[in-house]
Amino acid sequence: MDRGPTMIDVAEAASVSLKTVSRYVNGATNINPELAERIREAVQTLGYRRNLAAASIRPGWTSRMLGLIIGDLGNPYYSTLARGVEREVHARGYILTTASSDEDATRNDELVDRMLEQRVDGLIIVPPYTGGRSWADLPPPLPPRVLVDRPAPEGGGYTVLADNAAGAARAVELLVQEGATRIAFVGDSELISTMAERRQGYESALQAAGIAADPALVDHGVHTDEQAEQAVERLLADQGADAVFAANNRASIGALRAFRARGERVPLIGFDDFESAELTSPATTVVSHDIARMGAIAAQTLLTLIDGDEPAALTTVLPVALRRRGSERAAR
């Protein structure tokens, strides 16, 4: 099998030593222009291509590869996050290997192992919901790591988060202000820290409004659009909910489906924006944050660590904004 021309071939073709070629390829300045020209020519005619894998095994050298592990690349939320990371790291000459953990701790651990074996220079991870190995249990040496969207189950580490509790509280506050008293909470498992925080924001806003929280109005078992639709249908029919706080975009979409199927809607506010929130009737009000920016900040934090510098903060909490579009009001 042809492995392509190497530096040695280039050196021979240019009648120059190996080291000089290495210098040339790495952009060293102190090279005789005449030799440089010979090398350039040899590189051109031979079609020489650097072997970064070989270079990276040298002491002091790195792969200039970063790893990103998220829940599901197919989910627009995560792909937007990935895009934010990508922009930042590409600008610095890194390439990104991306992988989906499917929120499975074992899968996540396997991916981490694989990327460590591949000798990535750093890792950005959205920790899976629960379980899995603690970072501290891994044998050194370990590259820098930054957590995004959720803190690590075991805590600790550089982390970039959204202000989930405040966002949820803000949403519930507005629903109360619009006259709702029985506000349903529809979301994913409480084991996910973002969900726990949103739930907490929901509770505290109710408390602040002097409304007793009714556990029957809360559904934490929603993983898909379909489950969300059923949950909302049930909460409307059986629990007399007079407003819905949808704790993620799947829940929002499920709620909208339930409204449509029922031919009747109640005030709704969702967490996280979604592509066509403005196209629904009425347009859907959401609390949301800049996901791409969250990714970019995580990337910046990681690159700072790789440079050996100290990031500004151990935990960065991003603000959440209310995008008021109409769905928070009662029908008609």
| Residue 141 contact among a copy of itself, DNA, none, beta carbon within 5 to 8 Å by kind | a copy of itself
The footprint of a copy of itself on residues 15-54 (CB under 8 A) is: 46-54
DSSP letter at 327? T
| Residue 119 contact among DNA, a copy of itself, none, beta carbon within 5 to 8 Å by kind | a copy of itself
What whole-number distance in Å separates Cα of residue 187 and Cα of residue 231? 9
218-257 footprint of a copy of itself as x/- string (CB under 8 A): -----------------------------------x--xx
Our measurement of the distance from residue 139's CA atom to the centroid of its chain's CA atoms, rounded to an integer in Å, reads 25
Bridge partners (DSSP) of residue 32 are none
Q: Please give the C-alpha separations between residue 194 and each of 23, 25, 57, 94, 161, in angstroms, as whole numbers.
A: 50, 48, 39, 30, 9
Sign of torsion over alpha carbons 256, 233, 209, 205: negative
Of the pair 64, 234, the CB lying nearest a copy of itself is at 64
Q: With contacts defined by CB under 7 A, name the span among 55-63, 191-199, 309-317, 320-328 that binds DNA.
A: 55-63
Amino acid at 225: D
Cα dihedral: 107, 113, 117, 121 (round 10): 100
What minimum distance in Å lies between the beta carbon of 107 and DNA? 23
Q: Is 65 in the site for a copy of itself (CB under 8 A)?
A: yes
Crossing angle, helix 164-177 and helix 193-208, to 10 degrees?
40
Q: Is 155 in the site for a copy of itself (CB under 8 A)?
A: no
Of 46, 55, 73, 138, the residue at the interface with DNA (CB under 7 A) is 55
Of 30, 33, 279, 332, the residue at the interface with a copy of itself (CB under 8 A) is 279
The size of the interface with a copy of itself (CB under 8 A), counted in residues, is: 59
Q: Please give the C-alpha separations between residue 179 and each of 244, 254, 258, 291, in angstroms, as whole numbers.
A: 12, 23, 21, 31
251: its two tokens: 């829940």
What minimum distance in Å lies between the beta carbon of 5 and DNA? 8
| Residue 73 contact among DNA, a copy of itself, none, beta carbon within 5 to 8 Å by kind | a copy of itself
Of 41, 47, 50, 256, the residue at the interface with DNA (CB under 7 A) is 50
Q: Is 46 in the site for DNA (CB under 7 A)?
A: no
What minimum distance in Å lies between the beta carbon of 54 and DNA? 4
Cβ–Cβ < 8 Å for 241, 182 = yes
Strand order in the sheet with 268-271: 218-219, 183-186, 243-246, 268-271, 285-288, 321-323
Crossing angle, helix 18-25 and helix 33-46, to 10 degrees?
90
Q: Is 141 in the site for DNA (CB under 7 A)?
A: no
The residues of the shown chain that bind DNA, judged by CB under 7 A, are: 3-4, 6-8, 16-20, 22-23, 25-26, 30-32, 34-35, 50-51, 54-55, 57-61
The residues of the shown chain that bind a copy of itself, judged by CB under 8 A, are: 1-4, 46-54, 56-57, 59-60, 63, 65, 72-74, 76, 79-80, 82-83, 86, 90, 95-100, 111, 113-119, 138-141, 253, 256-257, 260, 274-276, 278-281, 292
